[in-house]
Structure 1
Amino acid sequence: MPTVPLPDDLRDALTDRLRATVPSRAWPQVERLIENYRGTTPTAAPVLRDAADAAAYAAYRMPATYAAVRAALEALREQAGAWTPATHLDLGGGTGAATWAVAGTWADAPAPHTSTVLDWSQAALDLGRDLARLAELPAVRDAAWTRAPLGGTPRLPAADLVTVSYVVGELTAADRGALVDAAAAATRGALVIAEPGTPDGYARIVEARARLVAAGLTVLAPCPHDAACPVTGTDWCHFAARVPRTSLHRRIKGGTLPYEDEKFSYVAAVRPAAVPAVPAANRVVRHPQIRKGQVLLDLCTRDGALTRATVTKRHGADYRVARDTDWGDPWPPPATAPDGGQRPEPAPQSQP
């Protein structure tokens, strides 16, 4: 799985702003936030109610949220090629984890984009603005932080890229569909929705994905198709990103490991006329199994099915690439042939 560290300026801002937050003070807020993160206590009011809640969230959840959204955005960018957003709406952005992730993903764009963080918690917006004050990237430093309701039928400004990260599960069932529909209507280019990598989080992504397809968007990642998700029964589709922990992060979480693995589910969809891109041929949906002389890849394919590909040494270059392929990667990975053309499809692969 990819390792996704916080950018240095965000790490330093969090440490400087929250160094006084100790576990004994943060735990009451953290326990309540965990319930909202898991989607077991949907609400029609802001989850982050005051400065203490916002500080607890930023210390406890912001690094993992950043990593999950950054991984989803990288998958989107890999398929979207040269497309770059000029405007970004961070819907329910709270302290701005997705805004930092978008800025990092397109840090090399010819011109910086503008970001608007929209949330109904003034405490989260205040902390997010404070953290962004000394950011290196102008898209973060100059972001607009706007208070607005998320329930009901929100009226949203249009943007090239819309992100909705770890928000849908916080809402009542009556508000979820309306929020996704409003986000789709506001999307001029691409929309990314991320939720916890739990069965309930995955179910919310499946529901949102169906609404996006109905709204005329094309799914670009992780699915290589717009058909019904083939993952059913007791299984669920999710991915993971490794998050290096800072000393502050370890203190708040009461952990000793220098990292944690954030599991997440997501969907990235685009308006085809604005983002002329195609989904991956296949997507690796489990940890690859590397055995002697072969690599087993569990794939979701473009025809909407699950299959296992066996790549062996006789496949030459594809075998070497498969050994470096990770959970969540497209298969075959985009590459350029020696003559400058597109890399051909891999050799036929045996099925178990």
Structure 2
Amino acid sequence: MPTVPLPDDLRAALADQLRSTAPSSASAQVERLIESYRGTTPTAVPVLRDAADVAAYAAYRMPATYAAVRTALDAFRLQAGDWAPHTHLDLGGGTGAATWAVADAWEDAGHRSTVLDWSQAALTLGAALAEAAHTPAVRDAAWTRQPLGAAARLPQADLVTVSYVLGELTAADRESLVTAAAQAAGGAVVVVEPGTPQGFARVLDARDRLIAAGLHVLAPCPHDAGCPVTGDDWCHFAARVQRTALHRQVKGASLPYEDEKFSYVAAARFPAEPAVARVVRHPQIRKGLVLLDLCERPPGLARTTVSKRQGTTYRAARDTDWGDPWPPDLPPAEGASA
């Protein structure tokens, strides 16, 4: 699984802003954040309540949130072609992980980002981190405090991201926020949640609302029909996170990486085709064989076996990762006519 590198300027900004944060003093906040982001109890107040919470979040969660959103954006871009946003709205953006991810995905687009969140402490740290950004889209972003529930009034934007925030909201506020996001999006909406059964359920509900609002799914699903994942299973993917030194200290970890599991949906208003199928489990490599578990069109789950006899396709299957589209774009075979 490829590691998603944290931008050098974000890594340096985190180290600079949080150098006074003692890992031992952040442990209580980190434990509460783990419960909030994985267990996720809906609330009428921000999960990030004060500067200590925000510092713990930035050290513990911001690299993982960045990696998950960046990976989801890559999958979306593969299907979106040359489309690029001129404006970006980061809903519940907190310290701006998704804003950094969008800036990296479309670094030449020259877009402008607006971060909306209900935690002033998160926005304050996010703006401070952004001052060190090399990219104008991050450095010049607007940081605005605003409620995220039914009272939210959203500006229009080409791209709207909603990452790791729906679990903080009550059911009614979740519905209102996703509906408002769809209305605000002139081009696309990307929703990312933790890769848990609860996070997947929230993404699935958001998917239904985006489709009802007239958008069509580009990733990860290869269709707009009902999800074929049923029972105790749930659809999720993984991004390998490059840990910072502070991240390792706060978590008491030694490995230079961790795998962040996430669920997502990316839907668009503009014409574009989703992948024919998507790999929804780790590929299983056997001697002379690759087994791929796919979600495919028409809607359904299937396993395909690619053998060594299939040459170029087999080599592509060996390089295929969990979450990739299938089949890949392959060069014509040697000797084939154009």
The alignment's TM-score, normalised by the length of structure 1, stands at: 0.93
Q: 1:291 aligns with which of 286, 293, 304?
A: 286
* Residue 99 of structure 1 pairs with residue 94 of structure 2: no
- Matched position secondary structure for 1:82: coil
C-alpha deviation, 1:40, in angstroms: 3.0
- Matched position secondary structure for 1:303: coil
Q: Is the 8 A contact 2:92 2:165 kept in 1?
A: yes
- What does residue 350 of structure 1 align with? none
1:289-328 superposed matches below 5 A: 289-328=284-323
Q: 2:135 aligns with which of 129, 134, 137?
A: 137
* Residue 228 of structure 1 pairs with residue 226 of structure 2: yes
- Matched position secondary structure for 2:143: strand
Question: Whole-Å Cα distance in 2 between the matches of residues 161 and 18 of structure 1?
Answer: 30
Quote the sequence identity (%): 74
- What does residue 276 of structure 1 align with? 271
C-alpha offsets along residues 19-46 of structure 1, whole Å, 9 cap, x if unaligned? 2212221112112211210243211111
Q: Is the 8 A contact 1:39 1:201 kept in 2?
A: no
1:1-352 superposed matches below 5 A: 1-107=1-107, 109=108, 111-271=109-269, 275-335=270-330, 337=332
Question: Whole-Å Cα distance in 1 between the matches of residues 169 and 222 of structure 2?
Answer: 28
C-alpha deviation, 1:236, in angstroms: 0.6
Q: Which runs of 4+ in 1 moved over 4 A?
A: 335-339
Question: Whole-Å Cα distance in 2 between the matches of residues 59 and 276 of structure 1?
Answer: 39
Question: Whole-Å Cα distance in 2 between the matches of residues 136 and 334 of structure 1?
Answer: 33
Question: Whole-Å Cα distance in 2 between the matches of residues 2 and 164 of structure 1?
Answer: 24
The alignment's TM-score, normalised by the length of structure 2, stands at: 0.97
- What does residue 347 of structure 1 align with? none
C-alpha offsets along residues 135-165 of structure 1, whole Å, 9 cap, x if unaligned? 0111001100011000224110110000000
Question: Whole-Å Cα distance in 2 between the matches of residues 335 and 119 of structure 1?
Answer: 43
Give structure 2 stretches of 5+ with no counterpart: none
C-alpha deviation, 1:294, in angstroms: 1.0
Change (3 A) 1:276 1:336: farther
Counterpart of 1:21 in structure 2: which amino acid?
T
- Matched position secondary structure for 1:73: helix
Counterpart of 1:234 in structure 2: which amino acid?
D
Question: Whole-Å Cα distance in 2 between the matches of residues 169 and 2 of structure 1?
Answer: 28
Give structure 1 stretches of 5+ with no counterpart: 344-352
